[in-house]
Amino acid sequence: MEIEQLDIETEGHKSKILIGEQLTAFSKYIPGKNTAIVTDENIMRHYGSLFEGFPTIVLGTGEKNKTLTTIDFIMEKLVETGADRSWFLLGVGGGIVCDTTGFAGSVFMRGIPFGFVSTTLLSQVDASVGGKNGVNHRGYKNMIGTFNQPEFVICDHSLLKTLEKKEFLSGFAEIVKHGAIRSLAHFEYLEKNLSLALAANNEVIHKLVCDSVNIKAQVVRNDEREQGERRILNFGHTLGHSIEKITGVTHGEAISLGMILAAKLSVKKGYLHQAEEERLSSLLQRIGLPVQPHVDAHTLIDTMLKDKKRDGDNMHFVFLKGLGNAVSKKISITQLEKLIYDLY
Ligand SMILES: NC(=O)c1ccc[n+]([C@@H]2O[C@H](COP(=O)([O-])OP(=O)(O)OC[C@H]3O[C@@H](n4cnc5c(N)ncnc54)[C@H](O)[C@@H]3O)[C@@H](O)[C@H]2O)c1
């Protein structure tokens, strides 16, 4: 398979996304031996032998580890290793390892360069691209973080074979999101090729990753720091993050539920046809993602209001104006609360 290289240039910095490159080739992209690897227990078990000769920092798994305590642990290990400003940090893992490594790299000695090998479908299509790094704070998602681009991201599809099915399916939520917000063609490609995609057909996965990364890269190039257009990437995330916190489902499952709720609100606002919401729901169900949130309206709203996306008495909420066309609207919290209560 040919390697597809995509560049994201922001504020004079170029980040290379290498889709179809192999984990085994990572040493071609790092500056040399002064590299520390950050990974998690599962990746270490499957692929740890490839990291021989590099100091390796192994994290636990799950959102509970995406915290400042883990950042403190990484700092301690880097200091013990004797790392200084000339060092490079390589995160090998899913979204949690990438988000954490990017943040650690951004703050260690005021910032050292870092790169990722992305090992889950979700991180290949979304989490490792775009330069948002960070950790959760007291259970609230991504409250502390930076905007800082990795030097490179390797998306090796062959690593997906060891991923648990639930985690593999979780990645499809962000693929659906990219289609729903920006490209009906991407959405339709997934609808038409779903059986092959679910069977992890290499060509289909490669195209889905390339197209998803392209969509995200276009948005990020225009608005790296989320002052406007980039907000559309949060489609399904405002309520999805609350569902993730309340129920502990995977990130992709929570985003599936968040997208359904946001699509239903879009129908209520008169932006989206009911048939389009049903088409979105049907695709998510065919994938095996949940579409029925088992969370009461009061808890959902209460959790949402503590999220960092609040802006005084208003919030930016992403609606669909059709499949392939998202808009971010500033809406008063009172109106949003009423819309959500009306759904129940
Ligand atoms: N920075 C961003 O722009 C952005 C975007 C979307 C999501 N995210 C974040 O990404 C996180 C979710 O990422 P995720 O879904 O990759 O979760 P994850 O990192 O928790 O990985 C899921 C599970 O799969 C295991 N795993 C990873 N790769 C494997 C492999 N190849 N073989 C076997 N097991 C493997 C991990 O150990 C973990 O148990 C969330 O914290 C979310 O907030 C960030």
pLDDT digits (tens, 9 = 90+) for 49-69: 999 999 999 999 999 999 999
Q: Got the DSSP string for 82-150?
A: T--TT-EEEEEESHHHHHHHHHHHHHGGG---EEEEE-SHHIIIIITSSSEEEEEETTEEEEEEEE---
pLDDT digits (tens, 9 = 90+) for 262-320: 999 999 999 999 999 999 999 999 999 999 999 999 999 999 988 766 788 899 999 99
Cβ(132) – ligand 1 distance below 6 Å = yes
pLDDT for the residue 308? 61
Closest CA to 159 of 47, 38, 2: 47
Full-prediction pTM beyond 0.85? yes
Cβ(123) – ligand 1 distance below 6 Å = yes
Distance 244 CA to ligand 1 centre (A): 14
Q: Torsion angle of alpha carbons 257, 318, 151, 104, nearest 10°?
A: -70
DSSP H or E run through 153:
strand 152-155
Q: Is the pLDDT of residue 150 over 90?
A: yes
At 172, is the secondary structure helix, strand, or coil? Answer: helix
Q: Is the pLDDT of residue 84 over 80?
A: yes
**CA-nearest residue, atom 39 of ligand 1:** 61
Q: Which of 42-46, 189-193, 217-221, 287-291 has the lowest mean pLDDT?
A: 217-221
Q: Average pLDDT over the chain, rounded to whole?
A: 95
Question: In testing the pocket of ligand 1, which one of 24, 64, 122, 242 has its CB within 8 Å of the most ligand atoms?
Answer: 122
Percent of the chain with pLDDT over 70: 99
Q: Got the DSSP string for 250-317?
A: -HHHHHHHHHHHHHHHHHHTTSS-HHHHHHHHHHHHHHT--------HHHHHHHHHTSTTEETTEEEE
Q: Is the pLDDT of residue 239 over 90?
A: yes
Q: Is the pLDDT of residue 12 over 80?
A: no
Amino acid at 116: F
Distance 250 CA to ligand 1 centre (A): 9
Which residues on adjacent β-strands are paired with residue 56?
37
Amino acid at 262: A
Specify whether the CB–CB gap between 176 and 280 falls below 8 A: yes
What's the CA gap between 177 and 200, in Å, rounded?
Answer: 19
Name residues whose C-beta falls within 8 Å of residue 222's C-beta, 6 or more positions apart in sequence.
229, 230
Distance 182 CA to ligand 1 centre (A): 23
pLDDT for the residue 189? 98
Closest CA to 240 of 342, 191, 170: 170
Cβ(119) – ligand 1 distance below 6 Å = yes
Distance 333 CA to ligand 1 centre (A): 31
What's the CA gap between 344 and 339, in Å, rounded?
Answer: 9
What's the CA gap between 329 and 326, in Å, rounded?
Answer: 10
Residue 162 corresponds to which tokens in the numbers above? 């060891």
Q: Is the pLDDT of residue 256 over 90?
A: yes
Specify whether the CB–CB gap between 232 and 219 falls below 8 A: yes
What's the CA gap between 202 and 207, in Å, rounded?
Answer: 9
Closest CA to 38 of 56, 62, 16: 56
For residues 272 and 9, the model is more confident at 272
pLDDT for the residue 9? 85
